[in-house]
Each structure stands twice: as structure tokens, then as C-alpha cells.
Structure 1
Amino acid sequence: MTAEQVATLLLALGCVIALARLFGAAAKRIGQPPVIGEIVAGIAVGPSLFGAGLGDALFPTDIRPALAALANVGLVLFMFIVGYEIDPATLRGRGRAAVSVALGSTLLPLGLGVALAFWLAGRHDVRNVAAFVLFLGAAMAVTAMPVLARILADRGMVRTTVGAMALAAGAVGDIVAWSLLAFVVAMASASGVVPWHLVLIVPYLVVMFLLVRPALRRLAKEKLTPDVLALVLVGLLLSCWCAEWLGVHAIFGAFLFGAVMPRDRPALRHEILGRLEQVSVLLLLPCFFVIAGLRVDLSALGGGGLVELAAILLVAITGKVAGAYAGARLHGMDRRRSGALATLMNTRGLTELVILTVGLQLGILDTRMFSMMVVMALVTTAMAGPVLAVIYPAGQVEADRMAAERDALGAPTAFRVLVEVPPGEHAASVVREATRLARERAPAAVVVLNRLVPYPSPPEVSTGLTGELLAMTAALTELAELAAPIRDAGLTAHVTAHFTTDPIGDLAHQISAAAPDLVVTAGSRTDWPKGVRHVTVKAIEARDGEAVKASGDDTMKR
């Protein structure tokens, strides 16, 4: 690059960041995920609104290859993050229901998309009809997990039945859809690679799961140092190179590498994703939005294009919503919650844009088809918030959270102990004291280990729920370990955790909703509701590790 091109590129990158932050903030102000605004920013500089003049002035043709290169790196990091965020733990206790919802929300839009694609193929210059048909069907079937997770966090739905089911079904559905897309991409690009490369896809998968995954587990025992992060990045890039060499797109190599990363060290996982998200979301993904937006030209659709767009929207929305709704109803979920779950599964967002870009790069989609599918991705994502506000309002969300607390405490005839477990070294002593008190009522006692996890403001830079989900996973993992000795003692034990910005107020709500017979905490509050029997574990004696506790106004020592 010449000195002039370098200067132009740097100026263009400044414009990219400014546009992404400005449009993202505007979207957030009207209750939409910031990614909606960032995608719109990319379209705004393209030919759709102001013709080619604005885009050519801000992003001259000679620097676009450099922008495209940065955009591809952004895609690789984003897909690694998506793969790393998929957590098999979300399926715990929800396997069949989650699979049912995932299959419903995948197979129905896939089938309808395939049927629509046959009609659209005759209206577009499609060279490989089979690849076009399968690609469009798979593109209809994808759910944007990062956007779905962000909506759940913003609406306080993470710990509701609907939220947990959406995360679990989204994880299963994404694995199915991405696997199908990898096959379609391999088929579409088979003419450009050596045929026997495709045969090596299976050995590649075997190596990733049987050799790379165990090696990464050993790596996860280390602290996150620059060397460890460098090794992760090298492994990521090698996986992307292998995927590209085998005839599937590099993004599938990134997704697979994220999927095989170990998840038994939540803190390390949070650090890795946090560092990568900063550069990805602030710089690289905005470059991707601009490159994609420059390819979107809505001004050239015409009347026939509007008919096609309407058909695409009808199939996309109907397939996802009806499929997910049917899957939820099949497993006994009521109409309101089934509708909310179906609305969440209909979000597509940035994930859809990634898929469409791959289709455009491989020549599966033409520019007009790409433009209409981008509009579909925006509409299906933007509609989620307003629809949820109607069919699953905040009051219903709060009622479901309280119902979950009551269910966790078990039958009202049992002696129910709610333990507010603090983080840190005092947790074991608080649980030990609660277990001692519960054993006096055994076997008719239920112990619930609860933690209110401080919920920060939604992160300014994030693709999804990275920090929140990892914090919740860490809390539930610790509580599960603390619950094991209680169960060994012959008692019933449950664990529950949810986010809070008002620990005192939320604990009071929990007590009011669940009405436990005894509350055990490590706090020092004095404003206990009347009629609530409570025990406060105050300190730990250094010599024998026994607890000194205060019950009501009385102080007791053991």
C-alpha cells in the first residue's frame, strides 16, 4: 500500500468505529440490540440510501481489500466466540424439550426455505440450484445466539424457564444449522478444491475432538498469560486454515475451535472472551458491517423484489415461530411462554449476516438476494423486543422467576431452609451450619442453596452474554459442589442463582414468594421481615473451623 492509501485506510477505520458506536447507541436508546444499529450503519453508507457516492467517498475502492481483510479476521474471532459461548451445561435437565424446540425451529424453516428457494431460483441467475436451495433453507433455520442472549439479559429472563429453554434450544439448533451449512458450503465450493480434501473433513473432526480438545484442557490449567493467549490464537488460526484448505469456509474452523475449548475454568474462559471481544466488537466487526453494507442495494429491488422480500419474510417468520411454538407446546409449555420462546428463536441478527456474506462470497447468492436476506435478518431481530413486551411482559417475567423459587424449595409440607450462600471462603461454613440445622428435621427437609449474583450494567463491548453467563455458570458450579455433601447426608438439596442489582430487596422478594421455614445467611442485616426465622453465620473460628452464629437477637456458640 502507498502512503496515501495507508492514510486513507486509517481515516476510514476512524469513520467505521464512529459510525458503529453512533448507530449502536441510537438502536440501544429505542430498545433494540446495538448490533441492529451497527448493521444499519453499514447499509447507510452503501448504495441503498445515497447511491454509490457516499460509500466511494468514505471508503475508496483501493482500500476496500484491506477493509475486507480486517472484516474476515473479525468474522473468525466472532465465530470463535460463538462456538466458545455454546455451553452443554444449558441442556442440563432440559435435554428432550430443548431438542424438540430446536428441531422444530430448525426443520420447519429449513423445509419452507427449501420450497421457497425453488421458486426464487427461477427468478435469479442461480448457477448451482442444489447449493442455492440447501443454503437458503439452512440460512432460514439459524438463530442468532449472541443477540438472543443479549435480549434475555436485558429483560431479566436468563433464570426463567423460557430463558433457560431458549439458550438450550438455541445451542442445539445452532449446532444442527452450522453443521448443515458447512456441508452446503463444502458442496458449493467443491469445484474449487482438490476432491480428496473433502474426504479429510472427518479425520479433521476426529483430531479436533480427540487430540486438540485434551491438549486444550491441559492448557486451561494455566493462568491467562500472553503466551497462553498466543497459543489459543495460533490454534484458532490453524483450525481456520485447515477448514479453508478442506473446502469449507474458515468461519467453520473458528466455530469448531471455540466448541472444543474447555469450559471447566469459567474465569479463564471469561478472560479469553473478554480480551478478544474488545478488538472484535470495537474495530473488526464494524469493518464487516461496512463491507456488507456496501453490497446491499435496496434501491434496485423494484416491484418484483418487494414481492420476493415479502415471501422471504413470511417464510422466515412463520417457519421459526411455528416450529419453535409447536416444539414447546409438545412438551407442555403453555401458550404464552411458548409464544415468547418462539419469538426469541426467531432472532437472527449478526449470525445471519455472517452466513449471507459467505453465500455471497461463494456466488450462491446474488447481490439482490443478499440484500433481501439482510432485510429479513434485521426485521426478525428487531421485532423480538416489541413482541415480547406484549406477549411476555415484565410482570410475567417476575412472576415466573418467583415461581421458580417456589419450585426450588419443594413441597410446602417439608421443612424448607433457604441458604443465601456468600462468595468466597465463608460459603462452606454457612452451608455446613444450614445442613446441621436441617438434619434436625431430616428426612423431611429441603435445603436450597441460593446466590444472588451482582448483575453489572450490560457491557458496552460484547457480542452476547459472555460475562453474565460465565458468572452464572461459575456460581451454579460452586453451589452444586456445596450441595453434594448435603445430599450425601440424606437430605434433599437444590441450587439456584440469579442476577441482582438490589441484593437486599431481591432476597426479601425471594423470602416472600417462597416462604421458607428458615433462612440462613452470612450477612448482618437487621431489617428482617416479621415472622421470618433466620440464622446469621457471623464468623469462623481459626482453630476448628466451626461457625459462630447469631439467631434473631440471640448469639450462640457451638
Structure 2
Amino acid sequence: MNTVDAVIRTGHISLVLVTIFLAAYAGRQLARLVGQPSVVGEVAAGLVLGPAVVAIGGHGLLGRLLPADVFSPVRQLAHIGLVLFVVGVLRQMRSGGSWATRRAIGWVTFGALVPPLTAGFALAGWVLWRSGPGLRGDAPTPSLVLLLGVSMSVTAIPVLARILEDRGLTYTRAGRLSLAGAAVIDGVAWLLLTLAIGLAGGGSGDSVNRMAALAAGVTAAFVLARLLRAPVAGRLCGRLPWLSAVAVAALALTASWLMQRCGLSEVLGALLVGAALPAADEHGPWGRAVHRVSRTGALLIPLFFVVTGVSVFAGRLGSGSWQACVLATAAGLVAKIGGGYLGARLGGESHRVGLQVGVLLNTRGLTELVILQAGFSAGILTPRMYLALVVMALVTTAATGPLYTLVERQTSTAEELEASTVRA
């Protein structure tokens, strides 16, 4: 590539970045006007941007505006922002205040995973025995059942983390429980997705390799945690704060790259590094280093939502079935909110925290869309079933903000009435 081509390509990339950030900003402002979290506007911007370009000039125009040599570095920058953002959010979640018990986390994870999986299996039963071939397709039954179960159980960590940050819930008990449960569910969901695609292709050997990679990553995180907790590591971090921040970012990006190369979500690598970092005071040496990493990620995270939305949603979806849309959405809402609430209550949490956790874990976001895209590309989902599940993902994610506000108002009112009754 000569100098002129390099300058033109750099200018093209810069123009795309400016356009994406402007679209994300417009989406945030629109979301706030209608009472939605800002991240919902960022997601919506990504979902609208690609189809809008296709509607105007077809896929040829989209290809000219976003050729591979331009879109690839933009997408890489977006994923860097995601990794750095998740590292900061998880480390903040673990620092300061009283942390949730393992029992509570275990029950929340169980409640937010098993009932939604069961609801997905029930939806699969309806698709297999009551619907027409337009929904069923010709995918092997086990792969279809598994994929529908995964689609009901997913919680999107990037979107959930952004909602927690926007609403100031990162340090709350409900925020910590929901994010911890989502981290476990995310790992299980990606493994089940791998198994479903493997079964659709006639084998499941890749699932074993991915499980081995995840086990190796967890082991490495334990070793890293012990090394970073050594006094000498803390002193070095305090003396070299900027170098420490660069080292944390490099560790997170490397771990995420390795997880992705092994066929797992890059978010898992960021979560492992965030969990390994010392959970000290926010104003301590590690807190300052991670704050720099997180601040960089927060600047870039809107780019991830828009880029992923363009990637996933720029193709044709076809026509859908309203019965499938209604059933999938109802099952997704009831199973996730009800399961999360039940799990929190079994874990010893209050009625209010249980409702908050259930609503927050109902955030499916772009993680759901990426999983659905993988299932659609593998031939497991038909276009009609794909569209029905996309509608479910969008409705459940958009419902998170209003439902959380409703829970806050109702529980606050109930507590005030109870307090006034006691005083009387």
C-alpha cells in the first residue's frame, strides 16, 4: 500500500468512526427522551444503521461504505473497548462494600439459568410438534432444542454492565449479584452454543476443547491472582501507575484473544483478568490503574454496540410468525425474571433485591443477537424462528429500564407504608 492509499484509508476509517460515535450519541439522546437507559439507544443505533444503509443502496452500498479493510480495524477497536470496559466493571464490582455470599451467587445463577433453559426446551417442544416447517427447518432436534434453551437463558454482560454504570448500581447488592450470575451464565451459554453447533455439524469434539480451554483460563486466573496479591506487585503498581495500567490492559486483551481463538467469548477473558485483580480500595494503586483502563473502555464501548449491531442486523430476516414472537417473548420475560427472583430469594435475599436481580438479568442485548446469528449461520434456526427470537431479545432488553424503575417505585412505596404503619 502506497502513501496516498494509506492516507485515504486512514481518512475513511476516521470518517466511519466519527459517524458511528455520532449515531451512538443520537441513540443515547433519543433513549433518554423515552425513559430508556442510554445503552439501549446505542444498541438501537447499531441495529438501525446497517439496515438503513442497505435499504437506501443495497448491500453494495454497505460494502462500499464499509469495505473489509476499513471495517476490520474499526471492529477491532470496538472489541478492545469492550474488553477494557468489562475488566473495569468487574473489578469495581468486587471492590468496596460487603460482597455477596457464594450461596447467594449460586442460587441466583441457578434461578437465572435453569428455568430459562427449561422455558427454551418447552418452546422447542412447541416448535417441533405444533408449528409448521417454516419454523422447524431441518436442523437436528438436539441442536435446535439446545439453541432455543440457550437463547432463553442468555444475559448480556456488556449491556448489563453499562446499565449498572448508568444507573449507579455497580456497587449495589443487586448489581453485584446480577453481574456475577451473568458471568457464570455467559460461560455456560457459550459452551452450550458450541455443543449445539457441533451437533448440527455431526460432532461435539469442539465442545470438549472449549471446556478444556475454559478450565485452563480459570487456572491461569487463580495463579495470576496470587501473583498480583504479593506485596511487591502492589508496590510496583503504586510506583508505576501508568505502566501498570498498560500491563493490565495487555493482560486482558491477551486473555480475551486466547479465549476467542479457542472458540469462546472474548468477554470470558476480560472477566478472568478482572476477577484476578486485587479487590482493594478504589483509590489504592490497583484501583487507580484499573480506573484508567476502565475509562478508556468506557470511551470506546459505544463503538462496540454500534459495530456489532451493524454486523448482526444488516442482512435480510424474512417474515416471521406472530405466535412464535409472542411465545418466545412471554417465555423469556417470565422465566428470566421469575427465575432470577426465585434464585435470589432462595439465596437469602430480600423481596426487593430479588425483583431487582430478576429484572437486571433479563437484559439479553447484543450477546443474544450474536448467539442467534451463530445459530442462524449454522442452519439451526430458520429465518422465521430467527426473527421471533430477535424480537424477544429486543423487547426483553428494552423492558429492563422501565421494569427496574417500576420495581423501585413499588418497593419504595411498600417500605414507606410499612414504616408508617409501624410508627402508628
Q: TM-score with structure 2 length normalisation?
A: 0.75
- Evaluate the alpha carbon distance shift between residue 153 and residue 227 of structure 1 in structure 2; reply closer, same or farther with a 3 A threshold: closer
Pick closer, same or farther for the CA change 1:158–1:235 going to 2, 3 Å. closer
Which of 176, 179, 202 does residue 215 from structure 2 map onto?
202
Which whole-Å CA distance do the structure 1 matches of 2:190 and 2:243 have between them?
Answer: 31
Alignment CA distance shift 1:20-1:171 (3 Å): closer
Partner residue, 1:276? 293
Change (3 A) 1:78 1:138: farther
Give 3-state SS (helix, strand or coil) of 2:280's partner: coil
- Residue 114 of structure 1 corresponds to 121
Q: Distance in 2 between matches of 1:61 and 1:368?
A: 29
Distance, in Å, in 2 between the alignment partners of 1:271 and 1:260 is 16
Does the alignment pair 1:26 with 2:39? no
Question: Which residue of 1 is the match for residue 412 of structure 2?
Answer: 397
The answer to whether the Cα contact below 8 Å between 1:72 and 1:288 also exists between their aligned partners in 2 is no
RMSD across aligned positions (CA): 4.3
2:79 alignment counterpart: 72
Structure 2: unaligned runs, 5 residues or longer? none
One-letter amino acid of the structure 1 residue matched with residue 175 of structure 2: L
Letter in 1 for 2:19: C
Q: Equivalences for 1:419-498 in 2 at 5 Å? A: none
Aligned AA (1:39) = V
Deviation at 1:39, TM superposition (A): 0.8
Alignment-derived partner of residue 46 in structure 1 = 50
Q: Which has the higher contact order (CA 8 A, sep 6+)?
A: 2
| Map 1:136-535 → 2, pairs under 5 A | 136-144=148-156, 164=173, 166-187=174-195, 188=197, 199=212, 201-209=214-222, 211-218=223-230, 219-221=233-235, 222-223=237-238, 225-267=241-283, 268-283=285-300, 285-296=302-313, 300-304=317-321, 306-328=322-344, 338-353=354-369, 355-356=371-372, 372-393=388-409, 396-397=411-412, 400=415
CA distance, structure 2, for counterparts of residue 270 and residue 22 of structure 1: 32
CA contact (8 A) 2:337 2:359 kept: yes
Q: d(CA) in 1 for partners of 2:97 and 2:146?
A: 29
Q: Assess, with a 3 A threshold, how the Cα gap between structure 1 residues 94 and 73 changes in structure 2: closer, same or farther.
A: closer
Uncovered stretches (5+) of structure 1, i.e. residues with no partner: 407-511, 516-558
Q: Distance in 2 between matches of 1:131 and 1:94?
A: 35
Alpha-carbon distance in structure 1 between the residues aligned to 2:170 and 2:209: 45
1:195-238 deviation per Cα after TM superposition (whole angstroms, max 9, x unaligned): 768645434432331x2222232434422623212221222233
Residues 196 and 148 of structure 1: CA distance in aligned 2, closer, same or farther (over 3 Å): closer
Residues 100 and 177 of structure 2 are in contact (CA less than 8 Å); yes or no, is this contact kept in structure 1?
no
Deviation at 1:10, TM superposition (A): 1.4
Write the letter of the residue equivalent to 1:15.
Answer: T
Q: Deviations over 1:374-395 (max 9, x none)?
A: 443332132233334445417x
**Structure with greater helix share of residues:** 2
8 Å contact from structure 1 (residues 27, 37) kept in 2? yes
* Local SS of the residue matching 1:45: helix
TM-score of the superposition, structure 1-length normalised?
Answer: 0.59
**Matched residues, percent identical?**
29
Distance 1:110 1:86, change over 3 A: farther
Q: Distance in 1 between matches of 2:205 and 2:79?
A: 20
Question: Using the alignment, how far apart are the partners of 2:327 and 2:150 within structure 1?
Answer: 16
CA contact (8 A) 1:45 1:290 kept: no
Instruction: Pick the structure with more strand per residue.
Output: 1
Structure 2 counterpart SS, 1:46: helix
Within the candidate set 87, 94, 107, 1:87 is matched to: 94
Contact 1:32 1:382 in 2 (8 A): yes
